[in-house]
Chain A
Amino acid sequence: MTVCTLVAQSGESSVTLEPAGVVVMGLSILIVCGLTLFCIVRLLRDQAPADHHHTPLDIDTHDAEP
């Protein structure tokens, strides 16, 4: 029997994932994944996204100049 099962059974086995929790969790994940997927698909549809999509990680701040 794993440690996690022991702990789960020891004191907090009364906590279960309720239907409302499933709905909230599912909706949250659905919304977030949907939005992320939407953005990725739009980026992939762009012919040359590197030409005009820039995030802080790849924005050139001209730090190389002395």
Chain B
Amino acid sequence: MSETPALETSGQREHWGSKFGVILAVAGSAVGLGNFLRFPGQAVNNGGGAFMIPYVVSFLILGIPICWCEWTMGRLGGRFGQNNGPGVMYALWRRAPAKGIGAMTLFIPIVVYLYYVFVEAWCLFYAIEFFSGGFSELFSNALSEAGENASEVDVIVGASGAFFGESVSIDQNGGVFESGNMLWMIVICFAVNFIIIYRGVTKGIEVFCKVAMPLLILCASIILIRVLTLDGISSGLGFMWNPHWESLADPGVWLAAAGQIFFTLSVGFGLILCYSSYLRENDDVVLTSLSACSTNEFCEVVLGGMIVVPTAFLFLGAENAQGSTFGLGFVTLPAIMHFMPGGSFFGGVWFGLLFLAAVTSSLSMLQPAIAFLEDGFGLKRTGSVLILLVVTAVGTLPTLYFTHNLIGLDHTDFWCNLLMILAATAQVLLFGWVIGAERGCREANRGADFPLPRFMPFMLRYVTPGFLILVLGAWAYTKAPAYLEGMSPAFKGAEAARSVYRPVIRAQFAGPDLTDEHLDAKVTEILGEDVRRDGLPDWLADYHQPAEAARDTASADASAARLVFIGLVVFFFVLLALADIACRNRIGRTIAAAERAGVCLESGP
């Protein structure tokens, strides 16, 4: 027997090992919290099965093209020695706006991390509570305290909701610092995230996550099989997937779909820009990014879409199956586990794996800032990690303190989402009109496993940017006013007070002729615009105290939202200034050195 077959066999083993390693890495990078927590809620609240039409359209017109853009631009910027957003953008376009775009790609991942670490802590806390029997005890106590006529579902969901609210201190600001438990979870999350980055054990976490994340997918797949064999599951599937076609006429549904695509694929974040900058010139970006996107969609549509909401509907009813992202993930899911055999174990495993997914996402959000500090200011990894630790620890405080109605998290998330769409729009315009769509697509095809479709230059130059501008405008037009009003203490205070008096006025003037329009007119006539208690009729006197309490609470929330917004604006301009300084100095010199060494980017379309 010759030696060659053995060598060939050995080579084949290596090839198969590397192939499955790549597939595991793709799967590991794809799965995240949004797949299981965000998508089901978005879909069921936006037309059910009909949501898939704007979702697929957004995936094809926005998601995939923007991914290809980011991967390509990142790899291109890496040739100039840049692994950070501002540096990559400036290498591709030597104009001031490039620094602004780069600053956005720096701002977004850092700020998202500031509240993402809070959610990461929830996952860890829930995993511990499940494994330690905390949830079993909680539900047992709730059932024993409830009356005999109480519905078990209502009791369990109520207990789960109360536990969530208490854990995150949803009823009062600053509660996280008083309770202790959640604060320790956050400290642990910070420690885990930063120790991993500080020790540079990326390879360790990579090996671990190559097993853990596909394990999450495997667990979800097993749960999916179990769910699909449940008696009566077709009603749950119907609740999730039956299309409500009329919702397609609502622009909000299209916005929700586009937003979900952004969040789930992490496009416009600046993460991909950073990571792809480490690729070699001939590393593939087309198949790699498409694989990551498709695996993500598998986790989202097939697993997330088929498990959470149908099961919630089946076990808990419609009312509990169409909540918010956090409601589904941290109230409904634990309640479902109560009714599932072995729920404590599976719940612990589920949230434990979600915690790991959150860790890998958190690490990827921290990397762009570290790369910027290293590239832009010559800091070593130790120094950059320490600076980032201080910045994020301080930056997390508003989210952790302003927890009443999760106002800090909600407003930070909204402004980040808006900026994310703006950053993606800017990047696509830069790709299509500055680098040039044809040139950019040729660059993307370098080393590609298969070339981009021939229509991609046209799409990246006109269709994707056009759709993005539409989404951006619609998003700002429909959502921004509410959030801007949400920062006005006077407005929100009056609104809260009005909500207390309104049912009383309705009862006072109840009659067959009292339509909603008449009631609104009557409310305005009696209360006025700012709803001050002076001059109000005597029959409203009993409601002054609760109205003022509601006013004070809402005003405090609005003040908190305003503070968060101001902080975000200040932080952005600080990053912009730092990006400008870095581009004028170290980044500029590195780019110039690369150009002298022969690296170039032809300009023009």
Residues of A within 8 A of B (CB): 2-5, 7-13, 15-18, 20-22, 24-25, 27-29, 31-33, 35-36, 38-40, 42-44, 46-66
Question: In the complex, A3→B207 CA distance in Å?
Answer: 41
**Is B589's beta carbon under 8 Å from chain A?**
no
Residues in B with CB closer than 8 Å to A12 are 235, 239, 313, 317-318
Contact of B15 among A40, A48, A53, A65 (CB under 8 A): A48
Closest to B449 in A: A42
Which listed segment binds A: B16-24, B86-94, B397-405, B456-464? B16-24
Residues in B with CB closer than 8 Å to A36 are 291, 294-295, 297-298
Question: A63 to B275, Cβ gap below 8 A?
Answer: no
Contact of A4 among B21, B239, B295, B339 (CB under 8 A): B339
Question: B301 to A29, Cβ gap below 8 A?
Answer: yes
19 contacts between A and B (CB under 8 A): A4-B232, A4-B314, A7-B315, A12-B317, A15-B238, A17-B242, A21-B237, A24-B241, A28-B52, A35-B297, A50-B18, A52-B280, A52-B284, A53-B22, A54-B283, A55-B292, A57-B29, A63-B197, A65-B381
Name the interface residues of B336-390: CB closer than 8 Å to any CB of A: 339, 360, 364, 367, 370-371, 380-382
> 7 closest Cβ contacts across the A-B interface?
A50-B18, A24-B49, A17-B238, A8-B232, A39-B291, A21-B242, A63-B200
Closest to B83 in A: A61
Contact of A46 among B19, B209, B210, B339 (CB under 8 A): B19
Closest to B291 in A: A39
Question: B360 to A29, Cβ gap below 8 A?
Answer: no
Question: A20 to B279, Cβ gap below 8 A?
Answer: no
Contact of B235 among A15, A33, A39, A40 (CB under 8 A): A15
Question: A56 to B314, Cβ gap below 8 A?
Answer: no
Residues in A with CB closer than 8 Å to B21 are 50, 58
**Is B450's beta carbon under 8 Å from chain A?**
yes
Given known contacts A4-B231, A24-B52, A61-B371, A55 and B25 CB-to-CB distance under 8 angstroms: yes
Residues in B with CB closer than 8 Å to A65 are 200, 381
Q: Could you say which interface size class chain B belongs to?
A: 35 or more
Residues in B with CB closer than 8 Å to A44 are 19, 23
Question: B239 to A15, Cβ gap below 8 A?
Answer: yes
Closest to A52 in B: B283
Greatest chain B CB density within 10 A among A13, A15, A47, A55 is at A55
Closest to A34 in B: B294
Closest to B232 in A: A8
Question: A58 to B314, Cβ gap below 8 A?
Answer: no
Question: A53 to B288, Cβ gap below 8 A?
Answer: yes
Measured CB to CB, the closest approach of chain A to B256, in angstroms, equals 16
Closest to B371 in A: A61
Measured CB to CB, the closest approach of chain A to B291, in angstroms, equals 4
**Is B563's beta carbon under 8 Å from chain A?**
no
Question: In the complex, A51→B69 CA distance in Å?
Answer: 22
Given known contacts A28-B301, A57-B29, A50 and B22 CB-to-CB distance under 8 angstroms: yes
Measured CB to CB, the closest approach of chain A to B35, in angstroms, equals 12
CB-CB contacts of B127-153 with A at 8 A, as 1s and 0s? Answer: 000000000000000000000000011
Measured CB to CB, the closest approach of chain B to A34, in angstroms, equals 9
